[in-house]
Amino acid sequence: MKLPLILVNFKLYEQATGERALKLAKIHEKIAEETGASIAIAVNALDLQKVSESVNLPVFSQHVDPVGFGSYTGRIMPYAVKGLGAYGTLLNHAEYPVEYETLRETVERSREAGLFVIVCADTAEQAEKVASFNPDLVAVEPPELIGGDISVSKAEPEIVENAVRLVGENRVLVGAGVKSAEDVKIALSLGAAGVLLASGITKAEDPYYALLDLVSGLK
């Protein structure tokens, strides 16, 4: 998976689950093919297999647990999502935070299963902490800006700069409030390796053109 990256989290929005998830994934695939942009998506566990089998894109599980085969009712096993076609997993999102020791173990289990691991962090300091667990990328998302109208790139650019300084070049994604090509350009100019977003695409009136606009910010 090349950088810079646009990763779209489908969450559990009505517009991005079930058959609508597949339709939305096809839009992402189409734009990736048309533009050559590096685009990935994160879908819920129930949609993972169908979406993974249907599009030529890196598909991420929105969460996994630090378990292997055994008595783990209700858990999501890294090896299982890998077997369903997942390229990677998203961990420690603000909507599903994980204790540090559990997170460390989950990263290890996920990498053992062959998954590309992206760990979310609320602050630059937390980003430095979780980076020590050796994920592939760290996504910095101040919770108060998630789903808002102002991106972290504009509202608090120092968070991005500090995260890049503490974590390293080409290891930080920027999330929270990202909606436009300008947001993407600013993020990259601050040293980010790409962006993580959700509602800017999933709730857009026209997801195709919203995503096409975002992709133009990669140039």
The pLDDT assigned to 176 comes to 66
141 catalytically annotated: yes
Residues 6+ apart with CB under 8 A from 167: 127, 128, 131, 138
DSSP string, the chain: --SSEEEEE-TT-GGGSTHHHHHHHHHHHHHHHHH--EEEEEE-TTTHHHHHHH-SS-EEES---S--SSS-TT---HHHHHHTT--EEEES-TTS---HHHHHHHHHHHHHTT-EEEEEESSHHHHHHHHTT--SEEEE--GGGTTSSS-HHHH-HHHHHHHHHHH-TT-EEEESS--SHHHHHHHHHTT-SEEEESHHHHT-SSHHHHHHHHHHTT-
Query: What is this structure's pTM?
Result: 0.94
The per-residue pLDDT for range 56-103, each reduced to its tens digit, is 999 999 999 999 999 999 999 999 999 999 999 999 999 999 999 999
In the predicted model, what is the mean pLDDT of residues 99-121?
98
Residue at token pair 């509602």: 199
* Residue of 14, 53, 63, 141 marked catalytic: 141
CA distance 16 to 9: 9
% of the chain beyond a pLDDT of 70: 93
Report angle CA 2, 98, 195 to the nearest 5 degrees.
25
Catalytic residue among 14, 53, 63, 93: 93
The answer on pLDDT for 43 being more than 80 is yes
Among the listed ranges 21-25, 43-47, 149-153, which one has the minimum average pLDDT value? 149-153
Identify whether 143 is preceded by a cis peptide bond (ω within 30 of 0): no
| pLDDT of residue 155 exceeding 60 | no
* Higher-confidence position of 150 and 40: 40
Contact 168, 180 (CB under 8 A): no
For the cut 70, the answer to whether the pLDDT of residue 147 exceeds it is no
Structural domains in the chain, sorted by start: 5-216 (3.20.20.70)
CA distance 7 to 71: 33
Angle at 164 between CA 161 and CA 165, to 5 degrees: 85
Q: Which of 68, 71, 21, 67 is nearest to 45 (CA)?
A: 21
- pLDDT per residue as tens digits for the range 191-213: 899 999 998 899 999 999 999 99
What is the model's pLDDT at position 180?
A: 84
